[in-house]
């Protein structure tokens, strides 16, 4: 008989039946996986789930965070599917796909992949954060986040920016930059970066220019993680937007600046959060 995650955690003494029932009640409204909810509620840790499942199911724990995979494996497991199911294809040998899973008890996902790809699926265990990091690092090169945002994102009902007061700007180039920073795609991109960071409970957002693109990173649970990239051609407009909503001077592009807003940063995301911003020149690479 196939056991469920909650049953195994109760049998192992990691959670109580009352805690599981509470998590199941939360799941009805949050629509998240039960393991993630148990972790968010503080009833169990990511590591405890992985180590318990490894012991009970006699499976190996794989540290896949920095694992690189070829394009052929990406085609087998698309990014959206990987993120939704918390799986990552480690490798393929003959007719067997080695699949890292946060919860290898997800038999529906195993059966779906096996049926769709006509492969045997060999599950191994990895941590939630490691799978997400592996997905971020391996699939991000295939997308231009700005294109995705500008084409598909409509105004988020949970994110609303408050109109800021402008300032007199004499320089014509700065005026153009100011206007571009208020264009809908730029506003949506900055709003989405902050909203996603809030949802991920990130403590820091790093926006780092590279030679050909800009890397956005979130610090989650003390670890700085690559989240996505966007086109470097719009970077000045993005940074100007951030400066405007945090009351920084967009004409100052060399000296470090710090800023914040008492209303918190001119936007609201469900429950209000306050942000502190700091800008500094960096060496790109």
The residue from 135, 151, 179 where one domain ends is: 135
CATH number at residue 94: 3.30.300.160
Q: Are residues 165 and 233 in the same domain?
A: yes
Q: Which of residues 240 and 248 earns the better pLDDT score? A: 240
The three-state (H, E, C) secondary structure of 11-76, written as one string: HCCCCCHHHHHHHHHHHHHHCCCHHHHHHHCCCCCHHHHHHHHHHHHCCCECCCCCCCCCHHHHHH
pLDDT in tens, 151-210: 443 334 444 444 444 444 444 454 554 454 556 777 888 888 887 787 777 888 888 888
Question: Are residues 152 and 228 both part of a single domain?
Answer: yes
pLDDT at 278: 63
Q: Which residue has the tokens 């968010």?
A: 40
Residue 175 inside a domain? The answer is yes
What is the average per-residue pLDDT within 123-151?
72
Instruction: Measure the CA–CA gap between 116 and 114, rounded to whole angstroms.
Output: 6
Q: Does residue 61 belong to any structural domain of this protein?
A: no
Q: Is residue 58, in this structure, part of any structural domain at all? A: no
Q: Structural domain tally of the chain?
A: 3
Residue 98 lies in a domain: yes
**155 and 271 part of one domain:** yes
pLDDT at 92 over 80: yes
Q: Do 148 and 78 reside in the same domain of the chain?
A: no
Parent domain of 156: 143-279
Q: What is the mean pLDDT of the chain?
A: 75
Q: Are residues 197 and 253 in the same domain?
A: yes
**What is the predicted pLDDT for the residue at 275?**
62
The answer to whether residue 32 sits within a structural domain is: yes
CA 278/CA 276 separation, integer angstroms: 7
Is 190 in the same domain as 129? no
pLDDT for residue 281 is more than 60: no
pLDDT at 35: 86
| pLDDT tens sequence across 34-68 | 888 898 899 998 889 888 988 888 888 988 888 99
pLDDT tens track for 9-28: 998 898 999 999 999 999 88
């Amino acid at each position: 008989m196939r056991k469920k995650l909650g049953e195994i955690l109760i049998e192992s003494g990691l959670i109580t039946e009352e805690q599981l029932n509470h998590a199941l009640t939360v799941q009805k409204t949050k629509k998240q996986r039960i393991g993630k909810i148990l972790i968010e509620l503080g009833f169990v840790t990511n590591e405890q789930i992985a180590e318990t499942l490894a012991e009970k199911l006699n499976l190996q724990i794989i540290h896949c965070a920095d694992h690189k995979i070829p394009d052929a494996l990406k085609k087998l497991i698309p990014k959206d599917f990987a993120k939704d199911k918390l799986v990552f294809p480690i490798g393929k040998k003959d007719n067997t796909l080695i699949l890292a899973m946060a919860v290898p008890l997800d038999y529906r996902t195993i059966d779906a992949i096996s049926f769709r790809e006509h492969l045997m699926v060999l599950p191994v265990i990895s941590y939630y954060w490691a799978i997400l990091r592996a997905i971020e690092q391996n699939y991000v090169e295939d997308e231009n986040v700005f294109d995705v945002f500008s084409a598909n994102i409509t105004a988020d009902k949970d994110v609303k920016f408050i109109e800021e007061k402008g300032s007199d700007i004499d320089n014509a180039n700065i005026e153009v930059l100011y206007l571009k920073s208020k264009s809908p795609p730029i506003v949506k991109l900055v709003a989405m970066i902050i909203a996603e960071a809030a949802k991920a409970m990130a403590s820091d957002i790093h926006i780092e220019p590279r030679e050909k693109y800009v890397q956005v990173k979130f610090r989650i649970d003390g670890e700085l993680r690559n989240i996505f990239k966007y086109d470097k051609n719009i970077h000045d407009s993005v940074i100007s937007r951030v400066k405007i909503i945090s009351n920084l001077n967009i004409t100052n592009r060399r000296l470090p600046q710090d800023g914040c807003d008492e209303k918190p940063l001119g936007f609201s995301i469900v429950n209000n959060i306050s942000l502190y911003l700091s800008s500094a020149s960096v060496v790109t690479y």
